[in-house]
Amino acid sequence: MYAVGEQDDHDDIFPIVEHDGEEHWEAPGDLERRLYKLHEVDESYTYLRTLAENGVYHPMPIEQTVRDPAGRRPVTSEITGADGVTRTVAQVYTDGLLPRPHPYVVFEFITLGTLADILPPEVEVLVVNGATPCQELFQVDEEEREVWAELHEELFDPHALTDRLVARRTGAPETGPLLHGLACGAHLCFGNGDPWNTLDWHGAGYSNEVERLAESWGVESREDWLETEQRLLECEVSPWYWDFVLGARLALEKEQHSRGPVDAGQWRDCVEATLRRVVEAPEGPDFDAFLTDLRALVGKVLRYEARFRADGLIGPDEVIRTVAAWDLGRASKMARWGRGARYATRAEMYDAIERVSTGVRSTYRSWAEFSAAYVMGRCLHFDEERFGTWYTDVLEAHRALLRAPRSPWRTVPFRLPD
């Protein structure tokens, strides 16, 4: 049961979009925009193919849902049509039309192929995006289920839904700390193919959000989420010695009034001398091995920075001053993941995202500088100087986010008015 549900209870269980049909409808996302156009010209088969490519979300009472889609029984209802016949229907929605998260009714992601398998046999009609301008109805019978399964096999590719820029056209917060804080999570939104500017977070569906937090972060409860989010906001998840080493270079630059690069040997010696001075009883093989690792980290940072310059991440004379961006960028998404998993209240998510914005603006001078520091943190965490996909994927995100017209870093000012 959702531990903090009472604080966020509301009546918006299913999406309802008011539209009189006389004026053009501003769809919330590119997917819904396409479905609206297909609905208007009665291209139901192409509409169905689009669903097969993207998947849909179906509502479930939170206490009845399970991680394995095969074990779920989608919600059904009885509807009497204009012909007076009562039929059993099931409802699904596309991502952009999902309502704000409800404490006791969640939305699960499902592919069209799996939906064909798990819909109860008594379902006669599938309602897609009901009560919206892009509503479409599909008859459900054995032949239709076979078509869904075939379209799934032909069209669904989960990798095609990642590494892309997705933005909501409607419903995003206005320019300010909330929108800025959402933009700070843009690397992960791009990599996962998530909309970067929505606060009504459903992500990959309730069970997938729960599983993501458990498997990737060890977060399995509200208490776990609160602790992890706080540590990310305070930049305490990444190893402290990354910024310790970077800080030693900054201290040398200040001490020497340096306008050129700090000598690598001096930097290493400064790291060692400072650590010996601040650590009590710095003796023993473990301490010596740690010193060796920190001296080696200097070289690793220099080699990454050289590659960053070659790839245009930083300028010829620029360096990475701090990798706080790595924790703060992830804190932006952790706030939303916690909301999707029902570990966080809406107020807690808002507060965390605004704190991310404050931390980023007080530490960095531009989106480009923030992004380069995030990339360094990711590389130090995962890449091990292989310059493999841990680097190349986020490099692609960096370039797209700085260049694409609808990117958060092209539409949200880094500096906000006082």
Could you say which of 161, 194, 218 is where a domain stops?
Answer: 161
Displacement of CA 319 from its chain's centroid (Å) = 27
Domain span including residue 391: 177-238+324-411
Residues 195 and 288 in one domain: no
Residues 275 and 356 in one domain: no
For the chain, what percentages of helix, strand and coil (3-state, to nearest 5) are there?
A: 55, 10, 35
- Residue 1 is predicted with a pLDDT of 43
Residues 137 and 220 in one domain: no
The verdict on residue 208 lying in a domain is yes
CB neighbour list of residue 11: distance below 8 Å, 6 or more residues apart: none
The verdict on residue 345 lying in a domain is yes
The verdict on residue 319 lying in a domain is no
pLDDT band at 19 (very low <50, low <70, confident <90, very high): confident
Mean pLDDT of 116-127: 96
Q: What are phi and psi of 244, to 5 degrees?
A: -60, -45
- Residue 21 is predicted with a pLDDT of 64
pLDDT band at 16 (very low <50, low <70, confident <90, very high): confident
Residues 215 and 266 in one domain: no
Mean pLDDT of 389-412: 97
Kindly tell me if the per-residue pLDDT of 3 is higher than 70: no
Kindly tell me if the per-residue pLDDT of 390 is higher than 60: yes
Mean pLDDT of 128-142: 96
pLDDT tens string 341-388: 999 999 999 999 999 999 999 999 999 999 999 999 999 999 999 999
Residues 49 and 122 in one domain: yes
Kindly tell me if the per-residue pLDDT of 2 is higher than 60: no
The verdict on residue 212 lying in a domain is yes
Give the angle 4-349-173 at the CA atoms, nearest 5°: 130
Residues 338 and 267 in one domain: no
Question: 249 near 262, Cβ under 8 Å?
Answer: yes
pLDDT band at 279 (very low <50, low <70, confident <90, very high): confident
Could you say which of 254, 285, 310 is where a domain stops?
Answer: 310
- Residue 284 is predicted with a pLDDT of 77
pLDDT tens string 67-82: 999 999 999 999 887 7
Residues 139 and 267 in one domain: no
Q: Name the percent of the chain lying above pLDDT 70.
A: 96
Residues 262 and 249 in one domain: yes
Q: Please choose, from the candidates 256, 364, 238, 375, the residue with its C-alpha nearest in 3D space to the C-alpha of residue 305.
A: 375
Higher pLDDT, 22 or 336: 336
Residues 275 and 148 in one domain: no
Task: State how far the Cα of 328 lies from the Cα of 182, in Å rounded to an integer.
Answer: 11
The verdict on residue 202 lying in a domain is yes
- Residue 220 is predicted with a pLDDT of 97
Kindly tell me if the per-residue pLDDT of 20 is higher than 70: no
The verdict on residue 416 lying in a domain is no
